[in-house]
A and B are shown apart, each in its own frame.
Chain A
């Protein structure tokens, strides 16, 4: 117990020091030092020692109420000290509850401050309340109680969003809150709740998207791009994720990786294959076999890759996207057959017999009968992955003589 070594006077000094910093930051509107006072999850030694001091010095209330400069913020400070203490002790549910009180009181004050000087502190609070809520939920779930703190944090963030969505200088903070909300909603699986926030960001005149901080824009584009992946709206998803990739800090490889994780499937489904080095660099090797399968027309490889990483793909929400690459693999396979035939006999190359395809699939250890392959061929033609027609009588795919296998080049497969 660290604080056992601390004297009462030391504890008193630390708490007063904290309170002084607080009131100084407010009076001088020093956002930078102000925000550090709330950063619970940063585990700063300053706050950790404060936690010990609060634990030792039981009557922090008295200190706060001693002076007007503190007591006017007692709604913020009291629960904050409690939260710091609980956080240090690992009691995240209590820490969250106290921090939520602080956050609510802070928003009250924040509304009254004309300028946006405390925006940084608000960011910290918004971030930490989410982190605390996640930890609290973990704790609740482990004790068999229903984890609902993150949900509560979500509704608090909506409140914050309301406080920022005005005309003043504070509005640039709205996107940060939005992004934190996205994180919560994605985590909770209540993605549909994003829609209302997105609508207000994209339609409200008070927001000029270019005006927001870059990091928020990147985050926002990342999440909205992911939503577009869910909807299989590939051109839009491609645009948003590419925007995120382009503007993302190149030093933040983890973020780039996250973006690529969703961007690669999107690109694949519009016919653009990534360089293997890219996959290696960002350790996205789960895609390498899929890319290979697409290159080779190897259906078995694709299916294996999908099966191997099924969980991962399901969780990131790209499984269904990748699964649809099957048709492109079939296309590649037929194209290969066509090329081989062309080398043998250019005059008859455009007639691909069904039994040849069935045989090729058998080599790939994929057991499909004629009917099924016929069906696949029909679908390929139907979706415009092959130009030509199928002659049922002779069981032959008759390919167009010009560009029988049109490339997607950025366009999604017709559905």
Chain B
């Protein structure tokens, strides 16, 4: 895919760009993750951007918050992972819980810390009450960041957001967590490729259980994939970004830090007791939280999310440093042990390949159906994982960092709980939430944590941790990441490189895959490392989701229910995606991943880039485009898998439309847009076309040309003659497009209509639209445009006229017959009077044939041109009265200017006076009257009108002895002015006045 290639190139070489990208990516990743994962974090960000609650927060803070949150999550994840590594599902949930705890603690603790408790509560309120709003807000925030990449991510984000928004807040939380984790994965290893399959798998599972939490995860993973790729490249920038954000947002950051501290504190009060003894007891305390949240309502979940954000922030600022450092260390180990990763990756891939869709099932099902297995997994991963990654992790974490250890323990217990209960997943997340707090507490409380003390960690390390955590899509990943990072940090501390190492440059470790861990545990112990890799998302598990879903659903139902909406959205988008692609990608990617992972330890940066590049190449969509495609594919596949209620379909359509809009603006990838744009049949058709092209070219970008768009052209089936115009935001639906015969009737109807211009314009625009989408270019088309152009001229709607004129020029040039002369004249007049461009005028005149020059209308237009260029107002107004066709209408638009020029000319050259009657006569006020000598009545009318006009333009009027009314030229020459048009409207087009439209528009 050319897109891929380009993307990679730009990304890799252009670090400055990357910076922005990173900016975005984090935002994007986070946002998606936010929405789903940490409602709380979202709330924070939202509050900052839109809402009331966070008034104090500035946009920078917003970003900051987001970042911190992810890190917080990741930290948590890491911790959890270390302990729970095996429990992917549990981990994921664990993160969520963490968030929740934080949130809760936030409100309570926030006050003490100086945080506006109100603000938080506000967040809460906002979040809960207006999930949708929050949803939209995040998107906006992303846009604010304004990175070019955002579009993609935002797209996905929106999807996730939408889903999350629709669902309860709790759902949000999980989703974000997933996103982040996936992101991490991709960043580290190029799992992105796998992501699509992952999505599919998850989707499938979701599909079966629309309400399961997992669907969200899959969604998030899709988003994560995109974000991930970017992140890889952007890792460093990320760090920078973070730093910068902190600096720039000093106030915000301070607040954040405070919050974080407070959150930490908060957790303590709330869960402190449990945390104090982090390992076992916290779990106990948390489970209740979880249950409550999960069962109770979205609200609790939201709160936790908010808390999470707070925690993350705090993490970053205060505890974050400590925890981050630790986490970073774990991260490094991952990189260093590329081999392990590879093996794990391979395993993943294998699993994915074999199972494809089932793969997801594998890991998903295990947790739910077999609560014990998850536990086992958790324990095993942690314990067994040590063999590969886990070994280091476990060793490092547990021994070195008391906090980590505590966290680990926490995570494990939580996980266990989760596994035990159907809601377990949620519970673990909650537990995870508690973990961060515990870690903080530990750090502060425990001397052992001295290493981890916030102050001790360099900013860059914090940034690193943030980055790492940002990648995490779900709690599991967070936990895993946290564990990894702890390992890294402890290691670094032991090495004494903690402060010396350039964390900004440090590559992010591959995402631990909690899901993998689960699988591993279920399947074999070899996959111990899998916890870090959440590859499941990346992997192609796709189309058989239904099977998976039941399993996952049963277990995760509560959590997943929230996610389901997301799933639906994606499904819509992804309907057409095929499993083959996923498989291909996976296979292809696997080598890349391995390579990257192996290399990563030594040359983190280069490796990352390589991975990125490879990903980009293979996915085609990789960086920007690829992401989209992947997500799309995921959507399609999901959609295919699902056959939902009509309501759901509608929703999906709406959402997909939304996505299309968002993407459309940001991305220039028409290819993708088109795919996205389609709805219903088109979706499938175009998607299949895309798929075809893809499979043909496989990474090279000729796809667009290869597609036979003619075959995809809509054939209308609508028999309604009347149709309102609505600007298409998606591919046209044949059911609402009228075929040519109907359009002909519609044109007749409009031509004979007695209704006002607004109605006609609306109708004609819809006719034009239908013609365009059906690619009808014949005499009917010309007639429609001519009709519309005439109506537009009559109504003085120049912009609409110009649209028609340019289309007509093209149509005439194609040899389609019409009123060529008439419109040539109009065109001339238009160029003369409104574009004021000599070159255009010359070329228009050059193009006139001799025959055309003999045409009455064209001759008239040429004469008008001469009059205008020479400023001969007398000639102009004579021509104005004699104008054929609708030339008058076009001249109307110039009359005011011409009159003003004329009067200023007269005032300059006439002395001492000019009679108003003369002006009225010369400047065409006495329209028809003068021509035929006219009646007195009309003359006086014209005279009055002229007098009014002169007065309005500042002329000085006087009366002489004969009672003639005259203009005092000498005085007037300096007092003339062009008054503001009375009917001026803010948007510059009186025809668009809302009141007018509402009053006159039919319907």
Which A residues are closer than 8 A to B by beta carbons? 189, 191, 230-232, 311, 314-315, 317, 319-320, 323-324, 326-327, 371-372, 374-382, 389-393, 398
Contact = CB atoms under 8 A, between A and B. Distances in A.
26 contacts: A230-B838, A230-B842, A232-B838, A314-B842, A319-B842, A320-B841, A323-B866, A371-B874, A371-B922, A372-B872, A374-B874, A375-B874, A375-B902, A375-B922, A376-B872, A378-B905, A378-B906, A378-B910, A379-B870, A379-B905, A379-B909, A380-B909, A382-B909, A392-B913, A392-B914, A398-B911
B651 to A, nearest CB: 45
Contacts of B839: 191, 230, 317
A389 B909 contact: yes
Contact of B869 (A323, A372, A392): A323
B961 interface: no
B845 interface: yes
Nearest to A321: B838
A314 B846 contact: yes
Nearest to B848: A314
For this complex, into which size category does the number of interface residues on chain B fall?
20 to 34
A389 B910 CA distance: 5
Contacts of B841: 320
A390 B909 contact: yes
Nearest to A386: B909
Interface string B881-920: 0000000000000000000001011101111111100100
Nearest to A370: B874
B23 to A, nearest CB: 29
Interface string B363-379: 00000000000000000
A386 to B, nearest CB: 9
A189 B841 CA distance: 13
A326 B913 CA distance: 27
Contacts of A374: 874
A378 B909 contact: yes
Interface string B818-850: 000000000000000000001101110110000
Contact of B910 (A315, A324, A392): A392
Nearest to A415: B871
Nearest to B919: A392
B874 A381 contact: no
B875 interface: yes
Contact of B842 (A317, A324, A372, A378): A317
Contact of B846 (A315, A372, A380): A315
B926 to A, nearest CB: 13
Contacts of B921: 371
B873 interface: yes
Contact of A381 (B838, B873, B904, B908): B908
A191 B842 CA distance: 13
Given A189-B843, A324-B869, 17 more contacts: A191-B839, A317-B839, A327-B870, A371-B874, A372-B874, A375-B875, A375-B902, A377-B909, A378-B908, A378-B909, A381-B909, A382-B871, A382-B905, A389-B909, A390-B911, A391-B911, A393-B913
A381 B841 CA distance: 27
A314 to B, nearest CB: 5
Counting from the closest, the 7 A-B pairs by CB-CB distance are A381-B909, A389-B911, A375-B874, A378-B909, A382-B905, A372-B874, A314-B846
Contacts of A375: 872-875, 902, 922
Contact of A324 (B870, B875, B902, B908): B870
Contacts of B913: 392-393
Contacts of B871: 379, 382
Interface in B847-875: 866, 869-875
A382 B911 CA distance: 12
Contacts of B922: 371, 375
Contacts of B875: 372, 375
B838 A320 contact: yes
A35 to B, nearest CB: 34
Nearest to A381: B909
B877 to A, nearest CB: 10
Contacts of A377: 909
A389 B907 CA distance: 10
Contacts of B902: 375
A59 B769 CA distance: 55
Nearest to B908: A382
Nearest to A380: B909
Contact of B918 (A376, A379, A381, A392): A392
A320 B866 CA distance: 9
Interface in B914-960: 914-915, 918, 921-922
A320 B842 contact: yes
Nearest to B967: A392
Nearest to B905: A382
A135 to B, nearest CB: 23
B968 to A, nearest CB: 12
A44 to B, nearest CB: 37
A314 B872 contact: no
Nearest to A373: B874
Contact of B845 (A319, A324, A379, A381): A319
A320 B911 contact: no
A327 B871 CA distance: 10
A323 B912 CA distance: 32
Q: Which of B839, B915, B921 has the most CB of A within 10 A?
A: B839
A198 to B, nearest CB: 15
Given A320-B869, A377-B909, A392 B915 contact: yes
